[in-house]
Amino acid sequence: MRQAPEQQLAVHRPAGPLAVVAPSMTGYLDRGLAPAVHRGLPSPWLTVIITVDSPCRVVAQPDPSQPAQEYPALIGGLHVSPALIAHDGEQSGVQVALDPLAARAVLGLPAGELVMTDLHLDQVLGPEARRLHEQVGAAPDWPSRFALVERFLTGRLADGARAGLSADPGRQVRGAWEQLLSRAGRVRIDDLARGCGWSGRHLGEVFRREVGLSPKTAARVARFDATRRRLPAALARGRVADLASARGYADQAHLNRDFRQFAGLAPRAWWSAEAAGGLRNVQATAGSVTGGSRTTNPTHHVHPRG
């Protein structure tokens, strides 16, 4: 007899220097569920996952040339197509949204070197990543796990500062990136470049190196990320065209094209696939929290990787 489903969702917002570097950490646990496959969607954040029990099984990578793999702990760069993540009824771990502009300080390399790529965390950080995975797996509860991850990231920032690696690559690019995020991609790239005092070409070079995407593509990903969080309510009200207009798309067909590129499915088909198993996205849930920490027992399945 299958055990009764058990589900937990814990969301933590770090304070202090980590508030920008890692604005959200999400703990997720599903047990006793039916096997499922989830689409991990593009977002404006690097993804760090430290699993607690079973490894994170990516059966189709954003870059189709990269083979399927299982990751005890992973770092994922920005991507423009979905990853497919499978589980056999159980999964648990801590997922961290990491600012791409902090990649040099935390990871020792720019986010541009991670674009469209998933790597084992120890490929980037070595034995200390393996120790973190072991410690998180042995910790008794979510506050303890969050404290371990927060202490680890704080230590990485301190090590980066000692090595001369700032978490801020410069006032201009930080300002352009924050404006792009705060407006959910609804910005003119020429205006961003002028605000930096740079040419559009130079802004593009800096973004590709420090973020991993061109400014235009990064803006599209940010707009898509904000839109798909609001899609379920718009579908329920039959107001997808209004959502498209509010998010800066030319029309609903324009929104549909972006969904097909970034999610691999049209909006309604994507949500139907998610809702068919009662799925609930970790990043979408984390994005709704304004501060502090909380733990819930959700009625929907929880899946890593936004």
Same domain for 264 and 290, yes or no, is: no
Domain count across the chain:
2
Is 301 a residue whose pLDDT tops 50?
no
Structure tokens at 169: 């690559």
Residues 28, 159 share a domain:
yes
Kindly state whether residues 77 and 124 are assigned to the same domain.
yes
Q: Are residues 15 and 159 in the same domain?
A: yes
CATH of the domain at 54: 2.60.120.10
DSSP string over 56-94: EEEEE-SSTTSPPEEESEEEE---SS-EEEEESS-EEEE
User: Are residues 224 and 129 part of one domain?
Assistant: no
Average pLDDT value for residue range 18-32 = 93
**Is 1 part of a structural domain of the chain?**
no
- Whether 139 and 232 map to the same domain: the answer is no
Q: Are residues 291 and 148 in the same domain?
A: yes
pLDDT in tens, 206-244: 999 999 999 999 999 999 999 999 999 999 999 999 999
Measured CA to CA in angstroms, residue 299 lies from 5, 8, 43, 56, 160 at distances of 10, 9, 24, 22, 41
Other C-beta atoms within 10 Å of 245: how many? 14
pLDDT value of residue 304: 66
Same domain, 186 and 286: no
Highest mean pLDDT among 149-158, 266-275, 296-305: 149-158
What local confidence, expressed as pLDDT, does residue 64 receive? 93
Instruction: Identify whether the C-beta of residue 42 lies closer than 8 Å to the C-beta of residue 68.
Output: no
pTM of the model: 0.89
Kindly report the CATH number assigned to the domain that includes residue 251: 1.10.10.60
In a shared domain, residues 150 and 201: no
Q: Which residue has the higher pLDDT, 45 or 279?
A: 45
pLDDT tens by residue, 118-138: 999 999 999 999 999 999 999
Give me the half-sphere count of Cα atoms (radius 13 Å) on the Cβ side of residue 262. Answer: 26
The residue range of the domain holding 80 is: 6-166+269-303
